Chains A and B, each alone.
Chain A
Amino acid sequence: MLEIKNLHASVDDKEILKGIDLKVNAGEVHAIMGPNGSGKSTLAEVIAGQEEFEVGEGNIFLEGEDLEELSPEERAHKGVFLSFQYPVEIPGVSVTNFMKTAINESRKAQGLEDMPANEMLKKIREKSEMLEIDRKFLSRSLNEGFSGGEKKRNEIFQMAMMEPKLAILDETDSGLDIDALRIVANGVNKLRSKDNAIIVITHYQRLLEYIVPDFVHVLYNGKIVKSGTKELALELEEKGYDWLKEEAAV
């Protein structure tokens, strides 16, 4: 599904990613953990095509296709989805209208007609019920005045609507209380299939109790310093990151 080879990325001449290698197969869930400032969000945004970052050496392949020349919207059309750590507020555009626009733009890029209104409504109803989202919420302006938890739930709702091949969840757990976390994780688990892949970026083990990863990677100082299975997350929870920092410094 996703293959990243020796990826370097910088912003304002400051190198943030210093050679990342990562392979994610269809059907897998990978967790990326690491201390603040290690480059987790940068990695997520670079995959999604954020132009603010200068990609130097290295490549990102999605189903064998090099993404380098593709704009963020083209990547989205190919099935990349990023759940933002800080979703942006867009006053005046309702959640529903935003989703309609996003889905129909993706369909247009694939040479398809607009999704029929009744089909769209059915899908909206189905996915909002899955995430226990109140109907009223859908006619509100996108993210405007949403609580932190509502914003994150809304991101996963968008993911459910867009049905991406590769979903990257950037700290989706921050700002969620335990009930919301369970609902969101449940939603994500329902979206898991053998045809898609999910990358979960998190500080904490907590989310991984609900979204159980196949692999866990530790990002530190722009590099993946350790990879393992879900047990690694537990170890990190217990011991913190310092031992890895020391290991990396050696």
Chain B
Amino acid sequence: MDLKEKLVSSFMAFEDGLDLDHPVHEERSNAIKNFETKGFPTKKDEAWKYTSLKGLQKIDFSIFPKQETTLEYKDVKKYFLHEIDAYKIVFVDGVYSSYLSETTHDGVDVCLMSSAFSKPMFKQVIEVYFNKAASKDESLTSLNTAFSKEGAYIYIPKNKMPKKPIQILHLATGNEAALMLQPRNLIVAEDNAEVQIIERHQSLTGNEVFTNCVTEIFAGKDAIVDYYKVQNDAPTASLVDNTYISQKNSSVVRVHTFSLGGKLIRNNLNFYQNGERIDSTLKGVTILGDKQHVDHHTLVHHAQPNCESHQDYKGIFGDSSTGVFNGKIIVDKIAQKTDAFQQNNNILLSDKSTINSKPQLEIFADDVKCSHGCTIGQLDEEAMFYLRSRGIPKKEAKALLMYAFANNVLESVRIPELKVRINKIIADKLGVRMGFDL
């Protein structure tokens, strides 16, 4: 049985035991129908031209996670940003781990989707927001919606800000030979609220993991949301991340994506600007080696006047790794005075590495400022010689130049400890020890 059939035929068993009168039931039923019709995307779909999910579909994934495996905090501590005090929402093989988590209902709600689905106090928020930003058309998003049951639920009421940042961590223990996970996160920052979130998926063994994640983020008027995606997973872990962001007047949402490890990563990052004077920022650092593959598909939909968007993606590709950057910007006819900026710079370290970079601009307004640029090059030989002539060995000089290249993405990270951590991951990856942090 192929993966699609397995998923479709398991849907009834999945819903068994869930509340079928709940409004979400209908969303799930419609979603599974859409997935059944469309199936997994193939290379014939323009948006999936360079990323194939064929290999993954041949693997016999378990789709219902087993009971929680007990993990000791000390064994997984390194996957947390433990240098800072933070709320934590932790899942082990898709199941919530209360032992590793630290949630709150103190003025803000930092808890679970399963609670939000079942408890009456969250019903209204679910009705207003759940599945309202996510696509009802895209098949993998529909697949996730159909199986939506667990994930992070974060609700920040008007004028509130949680006392500390929030970490969402999905761990896979390898208690199944191959495991498919479909976390569903809902993040709502009401008017003038502010929140910082770090999300990470981590497989702890060499067993296959395939995560199809959907996150919906809603930013009210004047809200500020900083979202950091740390993608440094095991070489047998694949991730399709679908993030949908809906912004209202004068809100600021910044998403940083650090793609530093994993087998296959596909990021579908979608911004919808439903108000004026909105600021959307999308930044990414991708550093790959071996046969790793990362595909960034971004969309910024400017639907109202006087808004800005800033995209800056840097990629460094070694060995036989492959990268894709597809940045789509839509400016509606009424979205005058839009200022949309997009930049994608890449360095290829080997003859066998590849990057496909494509800007896609659809502009229907006539008074806008849209700029985009894309570069593909090698490490600057002049700069290498300069550093080496100062006694810095080749490997370290190379690392230093990569830091320099990725730096303007890193410098907008607003959690200093996270910046240090990313630097460390990069240094480890390059096998160097830098005598300082940037």
A52 to B388, CA, bound (A): 13
Instruction: Say if the beta carbon of A61 comes within 8 Å of chain B.
Output: no
Instruction: Say if the beta carbon of B99 comes within 8 Å of chain A.
Output: no
Instruction: Say if the beta carbon of A114 comes within 8 Å of chain B.
Output: yes
Across-interface contacts of B388 in A (CB, < 8 A): 49, 71-73, 76
Instruction: Say if the beta carbon of A158 comes within 8 Å of chain B.
Output: yes
Determine whether the beta carbon of B436 is less than 8 Å from that of A50. no
Interface mask (A24-53 → B, CB under 8 Å = 1, otherwise 0): 000000000000000000000100111110
Across-interface contacts of B411 in A (CB, < 8 A): 92
Determine whether the beta carbon of B391 is less than 8 Å from that of A97. no
Q: Which of B381, B401, B404, B410 contacts A52 (CB 8 A)?
A: B381
Determine whether the beta carbon of A92 is less than 8 Å from that of B391. no
CB contact under 8 A between A97 and B403, given known A71-B394, A105-B396: no
Q: Which of A76, A84, A114 contacts B391 (CB 8 A)?
A: A76
Across-interface contacts of A72 in B (CB, < 8 A): 385, 388-389
CB contact under 8 A between A109 and B400, given known A92-B411, A92-B438: no
Across-interface contacts of B438 in A (CB, < 8 A): 92-93, 97
A90 to B381, CA, bound (A): 13
Across-interface contacts of B391 in A (CB, < 8 A): 73, 76-77, 102-103, 105-106, 109, 162
Determine whether the beta carbon of B435 is less than 8 Å from that of A114. yes
Across-interface contacts of A92 in B (CB, < 8 A): 403-404, 406-408, 410-411, 438
- Best-buried of A77, A102, A103, A109 by chain B (most CB within 10 Å): A102
Q: What is the number of residues of chain B that contact chain A, defined by CB distance less than 8 Å?
A: 29
Closest chain A residue to B401 by CB distance? A90
Determine whether the beta carbon of B394 is less than 8 Å from that of A88. no
A interface, size bucket: 35 or more
Determine whether the beta carbon of B392 is less than 8 Å from that of A90. no
Across-interface contacts of A71 in B (CB, < 8 A): 388, 393-394
Q: Which of B390, B410, B434 contacts A76 (CB 8 A)?
A: B390
Determine whether the beta carbon of A73 is less than 8 Å from that of B386. no
A226 to B407, CA, bound (A): 48
CB contact under 8 A between A49 and B389, given known A88-B383, A101-B400: yes
Which residues of A49-75 are within 8 A (CB) of B? 49-52, 71-73, 75
Instruction: Say if the beta carbon of B2 comes within 8 Å of chain A.
Output: no
Interface mask (B414-438 → A, CB under 8 Å = 1, otherwise 0): 0000000000000000000011101
- Best-buried of B380, B389, B392, B406 by chain A (most CB within 10 Å): B389
A90 to B435, CA, bound (A): 16
Q: Which of B393, B397, B436 contacts A100 (CB 8 A)?
A: B436
Determine whether the beta carbon of B393 is less than 8 Å from that of A105. yes
Minimum Cβ distance to chain B for residue A138 (Å): 13
Which residues of A73-103 are within 8 A (CB) of B? 73, 75-77, 80-82, 84, 87-88, 90-93, 97-98, 100-103
- Best-buried of B382, B386, B407 by chain A (most CB within 10 Å): B386
Closest chain A residue to B383 by CB distance? A88
Which residues of A104-148 are within 8 A (CB) of B? 104-106, 109, 114
Across-interface contacts of B400 in A (CB, < 8 A): 90, 93, 101
Determine whether the beta carbon of A73 is less than 8 Å from that of B394. yes
Determine whether the beta carbon of B386 is less than 8 Å from that of A87. yes
Across-interface contacts of B387 in A (CB, < 8 A): 90
Across-interface contacts of B435 in A (CB, < 8 A): 97, 100-101, 104, 114
Determine whether the beta carbon of A93 is less than 8 Å from that of B394. no
Minimum Cβ distance to chain B for residue A62 (Å): 14
Determine whether the beta carbon of B436 is less than 8 Å from that of A101. yes
A98 to B386, CA, bound (A): 12
- Best-buried of B388, B396, B434 by chain A (most CB within 10 Å): B388
Minimum Cβ distance to chain B for residue A140 (Å): 13
Across-interface contacts of B396 in A (CB, < 8 A): 101, 105
Determine whether the beta carbon of B390 is less than 8 Å from that of A97. no
Which residues of B365-388 are within 8 A (CB) of A? 380-383, 385-388
Q: Which of B382, B406, B434 contacts A88 (CB 8 A)?
A: B382
A169 to B46, CA, bound (A): 56
A114 to B277, CA, bound (A): 51
Which residues of B73-99 are within 8 A (CB) of A? none
Across-interface contacts of A48 in B (CB, < 8 A): 385, 389
Across-interface contacts of B380 in A (CB, < 8 A): 88
Minimum Cβ distance to chain B for residue A238 (Å): 35
A104 to B393, CA, bound (A): 11
Interface mask (A208-244 → B, CB under 8 Å = 1, otherwise 0): 0000000000000000000000000000000000000
CB contact under 8 A between A90 and B389, given known A100-B435, A101-B435: no
Closest chain A residue to B407 by CB distance? A92
Minimum Cβ distance to chain B for residue A18 (Å): 23
Closest chain A residue to B403 by CB distance? A92
A162 to B406, CA, bound (A): 28
CB contact under 8 A between A76 and B389, given known A88-B382, A92-B403: yes
Across-interface contacts of B381 in A (CB, < 8 A): 52
Closest chain A residue to B434 by CB distance? A101
A148 to B386, CA, bound (A): 17
Across-interface contacts of B390 in A (CB, < 8 A): 76, 98, 102, 158, 162
A82 to B410, CA, bound (A): 31
A76 to B403, CA, bound (A): 22
Across-interface contacts of B403 in A (CB, < 8 A): 92-93
The 9 A-B pairs of least Cβ separation, nearest first, read A92-B407, A76-B391, A72-B388, A106-B391, A102-B390, A88-B386, A97-B436, A88-B383, A92-B404
Additional A-B contact list (11), CB under 8 Å, known A72-B389, A75-B389: A49-B389, A50-B385, A52-B381, A71-B394, A72-B385, A76-B388, A82-B389, A93-B407, A101-B396, A101-B435, A162-B391
Interface residues of A (CB under 8 A from B): 45, 48-52, 71-73, 75-77, 80-82, 84, 87-88, 90-93, 97-98, 100-106, 109, 114, 158, 162
Q: List 12 A-B contacts (CB under 8 A).
A: A52-B385, A73-B388, A73-B392, A88-B383, A90-B400, A90-B401, A92-B406, A100-B435, A101-B396, A105-B391, A106-B391, A109-B391
